[in-house]
Structure 1
Amino acid sequence: MKPEVSMVKIGTAVESDAAVITEIYNDAVQNTTAIWNEKTVDIGNRIQWIRDRQAAGFPVLVAVSEAGETIGYASYGDWRPWDGYRHTVEHSVYVHKDARGHGAGLALMSALIEHARKHGKHVMVAGIESGNRASIALHEKLGFKQSGQLHEVGMKFGRWLDLTFMQLKLDTRERP
């Protein structure tokens, strides 16, 4: 897959997107520190993930190239499970290895932010492996501010990983 990404369309994921979402997810598991998981998943797992996210009212978005190829996906969900955090979400965004650096991540993130604003969310949180300079730069471009760093809280590929937290205030409400 070598998609041309001059313009991407963002849409809602459907179950037929699960094969490409699985491929993108598994590549991130096997080859990057973007996902701190060591186990790959199958298409059935991603179909259930899409169903569960959407049933809970959370978006699962896909980026589609001009050629009609799904080249990335994104979602957000509860940051923490307690009621007091219900206005805060944490997101994930992943782009196919052959489509990175061409705007799909920016388009997905922009759509997620807009969705969260429309649904009354107040803060969006990002947890990023501290060495992932491209992701940190993308988030900064979108207005996210670094809010903390946790040292050596994860491990992958035989080394400790640091986690950088970033956040974006989505509205100016003084009260929930």
Structure 2
Amino acid sequence: MLIRSVSTKDVPSLTDIYNNYIENTIITFEEDSITSNEMAVRIDKVSHAHLPWLVLEEDGDVLGYAYAGNWHGRSAYRFTAEPTIYLAQEAKGKGQGKILYSSLIEELRKKGMKQLIGLIALPNAASVGLHESLGFKKAGEFKDVGFKFDQWISVGYWQLTL
């Protein structure tokens, strides 16, 4: 298992992983699949914000990725980030996500972040478990704020002080 910074060669694999979540889960509120070009734009945005985007690779295959975005655009939020993680189906439940997310958190710590705020579409026991195993605490919940696959979805906020 290798955790490394994202590269342009990863874009097709990352797009496939993310599109699976769009098409089959409530994990993301996006409803339309994205193109590789859109994924490349998103990677570039994170890069220009000087935030990490990490890739989990095993035997040459991309099995997941984790990155952080700015919590909000105003400068007073510059020490708060929103981390995100997505794993390929075959990587779930093996502990690799925790290793990847821990690596992201460490990179954010090195960059001087003070707060991390994870957003979780609910219900999602696996993501809640991951966040809480790494020290995140539930900070709040908005009920029925998203609508996807003909159902209302709540969003929970988990916060970690670094």
TM-score, normalised with respect to structure 1: 0.89
For residue 15 of structure 2, the aligned residue among 15, 22, 25 is 22
Q: In the alignment, which residue of structure 2 is the partner of 1:140? A: 132
Q: In the alignment, which residue of structure 2 is the partner of 1:11? A: 4
Is 1:71–1:104's contact at 8 Å kept on the other side of the alignment?
Answer: no
Residues 86-119 of structure 1, C-alpha deviation per residue, up to 9 Å, x if partnerless?
1110011000012111122111210111011100
Structure with bigger gyration radius: 1
Q: RMSD of the TM alignment (CA)?
A: 0.9
Identity %: 35
How many positions carry a matched residue from both structures?
162
Between the aligned partners of 1:97 and 1:156, the Cα distance in structure 2 is 21
1:89-100 equivalent positions in 2, closer than 5 A: 89-100=81-92
- Gaps spanning 5+ residues in structure 2: where? none
Is 1:12–1:61's contact at 8 Å kept on the other side of the alignment?
Answer: yes
Q: In the alignment, which residue of structure 1 is the partner of 2:119? A: 127
Between the aligned partners of 1:90 and 1:48, the Cα distance in structure 2 is 18
SS of equivalent to 2:127:
helix
Which structure's residues are more often strand, by fraction?
2
1:1-176 equivalent positions in 2, closer than 5 A: 8-65=1-58, 67-170=59-162
Which structure's residues are more often helix, by fraction?
2
Runs of 4+ in 1 over 3 A off after TM superposition: none
